[in-house]
Amino acid sequence: MHQIDRFRVLAGLLMAFAFVAACGAGRTKEEYLASADAFAKEGKNAEAIVEYRNAIAVDPKFGEARLKLAETYVKTNELPKAMSEYVRAADLLPDNNQAQLQATRFLLLARRFEDAEARIDKVLARDPNHVEALIAKATALAGLRDVEGSISEIEEAIRIDPENARSHMMLGAMQISKKNMADAETAFKKAVEVDPKSIEAQQALASFYWSTARPKEAEEWLRTAVASNPSNLASQRALATFLIAQGRGGEAEAPLKAVAESTKTTAAELALADYYLTQDRSDEARPLLEQISKKDDGFTPARIRLARLDYAQKKPGPAHEGIKAVLAKDPKQVDALVLQAMMLLTEKKTDEALVSAQAAAAAAPQFAAAQNILGDALAATGEAEGALRAYNEALRLNPRIVATMLKVAQLQMQRGDMTGALQSTEEAVKLAPTNAGARMIRARALTGKGDYRRAQEDLDTLVKAFPKSAPVHAQIGDLHLARQNRAEARRSFDLARSLDPDLFEAIRGRLYIDLLEGKGDQARQLIEAQLQRSPDSAPLLLLAAGTYAAAKDTAKQEETLNKVLAIDPDNMQAFAGLAAMYVRQGKLDQARARYETLSKRETSTVAAQTMIGLIYEAQNKPAEAKIVYEKLLESDPEAAVAANNLAWRYAQDGGNLDVALQLAQTAKRKLPNSPEVNDTLGWIYLKKDLSTQAVSAFQASVQGSPNAPEYRYHLGMAHAKAGNKTKAAEEFDQALKLKPDYKEAAAARKALAGG
């Protein structure tokens, strides 16, 4: 044997010995479990969690450890993690009824009713007379809207154990769903009768009386529940909530303070702090939360509340620091990640917000709030399809989030899907008939569908409830315009402007009518008066530019569009308007000379240099345009329009596609909802044979500009490359319907013919 081989053998033996020694020195899963149990018994939940995780690291299929880890997560109020562990434990312990029941209860809380029913059916197959399983099955059926099936299961549970208060409470809830209020009251009273000491039964009866507008009886039973056990936090909170709702917030402090002082528990102290926050008593909430944050089990919930309070009080620095401190201890703390994403979105830091939102959704995929914030972040970055998927997942987890339904409806309307938007708003209005936003969006969807009668009904309801709401009257104006009733539309827009002189929708609607009727001077007076109030509003300036264009006052149009670019150097509409105007005038050389002079004398030359590049493109001088864009991006790498146009040029002219992609992504960060930018991004993906990404990008461009045939054609090309011939044909056909003679019309017809 060679000397080197002996060294290798010796090294291998030493490594093997070290490995065996390390294994021998390691602790078994049972030892970790015993250590965790000891910590849990002492109330040291953080240490217990670490040890339970260590046991699971030794054996990922250690069901007992997962079950106890889930129970500990419940104690630390980390419910998404608790649900995940309960479900895993139940899978590993199929014959453990308690594990199955706990997993089912959390699935019910997450509104995963079909999963809950399937799991609890296994328990009932082993033990058909298991009362708690029957109640869980009834709850799942209720969630699936099988009221009769739910009542049948509950009645069976009552037959087996007539003294079980929870069965009677569940029966009461189901009778409410059938609007059998007398039977519901009988059931709730029976629950109290069979278990007079049940605080849960007393609260259920109180809740019934409260929901049926019988506050005197409700308060009586809430106070009975408190008297039964003054240290019970749930009953004290229920009484406090009732008192606040009755306009007696001052009386709500006493019960919460009493339970906090008597029990000294973190949960009770947090409830008191929450009361102070809801009553706008932050000076009392803050020191209490600071005190709670010093506890092991209070640090995370208190710091998150303090961060939320700091942000509300315009202290973003401390708010972010507080969240960072929470995430330093637990990088997957979902509430902290959700709040961090919300703050970053408010600050328009969309890329950072998306990272936090994605982390939240990854940490707790079954947490509706995490999916919802992910949808918000994706929408803010222009990823409409991804946003819709996230919002729909949030609604699957919790089908009663009206705000999310409305976000879905708005995205659907933006992409021209009025049928989908109407379906979303129908459910929202059903759940929240008094929600003004739901009815407003439904009215808009109905108007888009041409169902003017129902749209009018919604708006009549809104104007009756909110007679002085400017947005409602502006929406009525839009409905009248759709019906081609200009006189009524004008009256509605004028009324909206009298209520809110700065409401953009009302100003835009009134301008449109004036221009439609050839009243250019009147339109000009209106927009110029509005600009005196808001001289630096880019949306108003764009309206003014359109008004000047209609009056053929090109000098004022040019001046106004340049002012837009001075305010917003990345405004695509302003660039497009100026370029189109110069092409119509045939003054491209003079315009380029003017911008070259401006670029030499102005401090900020982004807009001027971008216009020079655009004019070169209009003159069919792509090489010169590229030089201008490249020079501009050397001095300002974030110049979004230049980045987009240079990316397009590289993609078209056989340039480096990786560089083109980087440029397009820069433009996307600055202009996430720009159809032009999304089209450029899609085109680059198509060139790189990334058809799935190309489809997503082109869908975003079509959503932003559904009547542009070029974007439809590009989307069709992406679908074709992805192998979806049906969708490709649909887009080619739609492009030709929009404009039979557009640039790629011949190619679209050839593709449709199978060429």
- pLDDT score of 743 more than 90: no
Report the pLDDT value the prediction gives residue 289, as an integer from 0 to 100: 95
**Over 80: is that where the pLDDT of 17 sits?**
no
Quick one: pLDDT at residue 438?
92
Secondary structure string (H, E, C) spanning 521-584: HHHHHHHHHHHHHCCCCHHHHHHHHHHHHHCCCHHHHHHHHHHHHHHCCCCHHHHHHHHHHHHH
Please state the rounded mean pLDDT for residues 627-645. 90
Arithmetic mean of pLDDT, 658-685: 90
Please name the CATH architecture into which domain 569-672 falls. Answer: Alpha Horseshoe (1.25)
| 119 within 8 A of 104, measured Cβ to Cβ | yes
pLDDT attached to residue 602: 56
Q: 675-755 is classed in which CATH architecture?
A: Alpha Horseshoe (1.25)
pTM of the full predicted structure?
A: 0.68
Per the prediction, the chain carries an average pLDDT of: 87
- Residue 478's pLDDT is 94
332 contacts 363 by C-beta, under 8 angstroms: yes
Amino acid 286: pLDDT: 95
220-252 per-position pLDDT tens digit: 888 888 888 887 777 777 887 788 778 887 887
Domain boundaries, the chain: 569-672, 675-755
Q: What would the pLDDT profile of 273-306 be if each residue is shown by its tens digit?
A: 998 998 889 999 999 999 999 998 899 999 999 9
pLDDT tens-digit series, residues 321-373:
999 999 999 999 999 999 999 999 999 899 899 999 999 999 988 889 999 99
Q: Do 674 and 708 form a contact (C-beta atoms < 8 A)?
A: no
Residue at token pair 């002079």: 597
Which whole number is the average pLDDT over 85-94? 90
pLDDT of residue 494: 95
pLDDT of residue 6: 38
Cα(99)–Cα(81) distance, rounded to whole angstroms? 15
On the question of a common fold for 569-672 and 675-755, the answer reads yes
Distant-in-sequence, close-in-space partners of 612: CB < 8 Å, separation ≥ 6: 592, 595, 596, 599, 628
How far does CA 493 lie from the centroid of its chain? 32
Q: How many percent of the chain have pLDDT more than 70?
A: 96
Alpha carbon distance 27, 9 (integer Å): 29
Residue among 289, 279, 341 nearest 310 (CA) = 289
**359-373, 682-696, 698-712: least confidently modelled range:** 698-712
Residue 21: the pLDDT is 34
Tokens of 398: 């919790």
Name the pLDDT band for 132 (thresholds 50, 70, 90): confident
Query: Which pLDDT score is estimated for 601?
Result: 65
Whether 18 has a pLDDT exceeding 50, the answer reads no
In this prediction, residue 371 carries a pLDDT of: 95
Find where tokens 């108003």 sit. 540
Per-residue model confidence as pLDDT tens digits over 446-464? 998 899 999 999 999 999 9
Supply the pLDDT for residue 755: 60
- Report d(CA 728, CA 725) in Å as an integer: 5
The helix-helix angle for 554-567 and 606-618 (nearest 10°) equals 130
